[in-house]
Amino acid sequence: MNEPQQKWTETIEANHTLFDLKLKEVWKYKDLIYMFVKRDFISSFKQTILGPIWFFVNPIFTTFTYLIVFGKLANLPTDGAPPLLFYLAGVTLWNYFSGALIGTSNTFTGNAAIFGKVYFPRLVTPISIVISNLMRLGVQFLLFVLVWAYYLAIGEVHCNIWILATPFLVVLMAVFALGVGMIFSSLTTKYKDLVMLLGFGISLFMYATPVIYPVSSLPGYFKKLAYYNPLTGIFECFKYGWLGVGDFSPIMLGISTIIIFALLAIGVVVFNKVEKTFMDTV
């Protein structure tokens, strides 16, 4: 005897599209973002002796290492800019991007315990990571400005109008890290190997980015290929604006902007799709 088919009286399902960032809902949880940012800042230096001074120690030691290895031993060109300032500019930007990308790529696996207990917009977590890394960038950028002011005073650098594009460049880096980080965080819920691949890939990606060398030093084919690295336009624009050197053109920055926002769109789609079922696979 066939039993009568049961019908659900109520169905609970997600009511947002894959392209929906749910920014209104995220704004309602702005206090939670602030708490996450505060947590990240405090936990980074808990039980350390130097505390926030590490913000300065990292770029200083890294810059001097690059100065010795790539400036003195490898003798890489800097387009006429003071080598110390050239490497410090690259290190300052790269530290922010790599830190934000690694942090956002760990969104699901690193916060599974929280996600499984309470609801809040999952986008809150990667946004808070991007913002907390902005605090580090602010401190390291202050160090860069102090060194830059010295070289400007003695006439070894010359800035131009593109220095005003700095806030936009920071936004582009944040969006790039957010977009790519959401893609990797979504994929790592199923493929744990990508966590190791990302750490290795970021190290290699730095050498494909004009951090320790100017684009003008690249041969023809590689120079054209470098234009399609989203970070190339950002780094070259920053160095061109602050140091007055570099092979920069607005087209280069336009290409970077288009690629970055395309990656953000892909990241949003993948992130929204995975967040519905990631607790089953993480």
In a domain, 36, yes or no: no
| Better-predicted residue by pLDDT, 99 or 110 | 99
In angstroms, rounded to a whole number, what is the distance separating the alpha carbons of residues 234 and 96?
A: 13
Q: What percent of the chain has pLDDT over 90?
A: 34
Band (pLDDT 50/70/90 cuts) for residue 87 is very high
The answer, yes or no, to whether residue 90 has pLDDT greater than 50, is: yes
Kindly state the DSSP code that residue 281 receives in the 8-state scheme. T
**Residue 273 contacts residue 18 (beta carbons within 8 Å):** yes
Per the structure, the complete domain to which residue 107 belongs is given by: 67-280
In a domain, 226, yes or no: yes
In a domain, 219, yes or no: yes
pLDDT of residue 121: 72
Summarised one tens digit per residue, pLDDT across range 198-244 is: 878 888 899 999 999 999 888 878 888 888 899 999 999 999 999 99
The answer, yes or no, to whether residue 260 has pLDDT greater than 60, is: yes
In a domain, 88, yes or no: yes
Summarised one tens digit per residue, pLDDT across range 146-202 is: 999 999 999 899 889 999 999 999 999 999 999 998 888 888 777 776 777 887 888
**Residue 265 contacts residue 19 (beta carbons within 8 Å):** yes
| Better-predicted residue by pLDDT, 111 or 24 | 24
Q: Spell out the residues 6+ positions from residue 120 whose beta carbon is closer than 8 angstroms to its own.
A: 29, 32
Domain count, the chain: 1
In angstroms, rounded to a whole number, what is the distance separating the alpha carbons of residues 22 and 91?
A: 34
**Residue 138 contacts residue 224 (beta carbons within 8 Å):** no
pLDDT of residue 107: 73
Band (pLDDT 50/70/90 cuts) for residue 84 is very high
The answer, yes or no, to whether residue 259 has pLDDT greater than 90, is: yes
| Better-predicted residue by pLDDT, 241 or 281 | 241
Band (pLDDT 50/70/90 cuts) for residue 36 is confident
pLDDT of residue 7: 63
In a domain, 16, yes or no: no
In a domain, 15, yes or no: no
